[in-house]
């Protein structure tokens, strides 16, 4: 169960209570009977693993994902579906004429 911290608006005392999340927050101070409000507390964060600072920022260059190729999606084929090497050869013969 979480521990909630309260502060009295009248006397300024701070106190903690263990309450369920479903319970209504306290409204009266146990010392003076004045109105209380819940005080928000920072949570403790623990960074585990291999290098928080290494993975916290964006990489300068995209890294290749294993199993993913850098092709443009046409599987090494040219514009008309012919292989890239065949299109390069046919382009060479056209220049030679």
Residue 8 confidence (pLDDT) above 60: yes
Contact status, residue 36 vs residue 11, Cβ threshold 8 Å? no
Number of structural domains the chain divides into: 1
Q: What proportions of the chain, in percent to the nearest 5, are helix, strand and coil?
A: 20, 20, 65
Q: How far apart are the first and last CA of the chain?
A: 85
Does residue 24 sit within a domain?
yes
Does residue 55 sit within a domain?
no
Measure the CA–CA gap between 1 and 21, rounded to whole angstroms.
7
Does residue 61 sit within a domain?
no
Chain segment 9-60, per-residue pLDDT in tens: 999 999 999 999 999 999 999 999 999 999 998 888 877 766 666 666 666 6
Chain segment 81-92, per-residue pLDDT in tens: 555 555 555 555
pTM (2 decimals)? Answer: 0.44
Boundaries of domain holding 32:
3-39
Does residue 35 sit within a domain?
yes
Chain segment 62-86, per-residue pLDDT in tens: 666 666 655 555 555 555 655 555 5
Does residue 71 sit within a domain?
no
Does residue 84 sit within a domain?
no
């Amino acid at each position: 169960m979480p521990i909630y911290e309260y502060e009295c608006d009248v006397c300024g005392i701070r106190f903690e209570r263990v309450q369920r999340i479903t319970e209504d927050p306290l409204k009266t101070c146990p010392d003076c009977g004045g109105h209380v409000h819940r005080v928000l507390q920072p949570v403790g964060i623990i960074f585990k693993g291999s290098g928080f600072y290494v993975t916290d920022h964006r990489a300068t260059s995209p890294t290749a994902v294993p199993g993913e190729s850098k092709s443009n999606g046409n599987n090494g084929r040219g514009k008309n579906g012919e292989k890239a090497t065949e299109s390069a050869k046919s382009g060479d013969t056209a220049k030679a004429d």
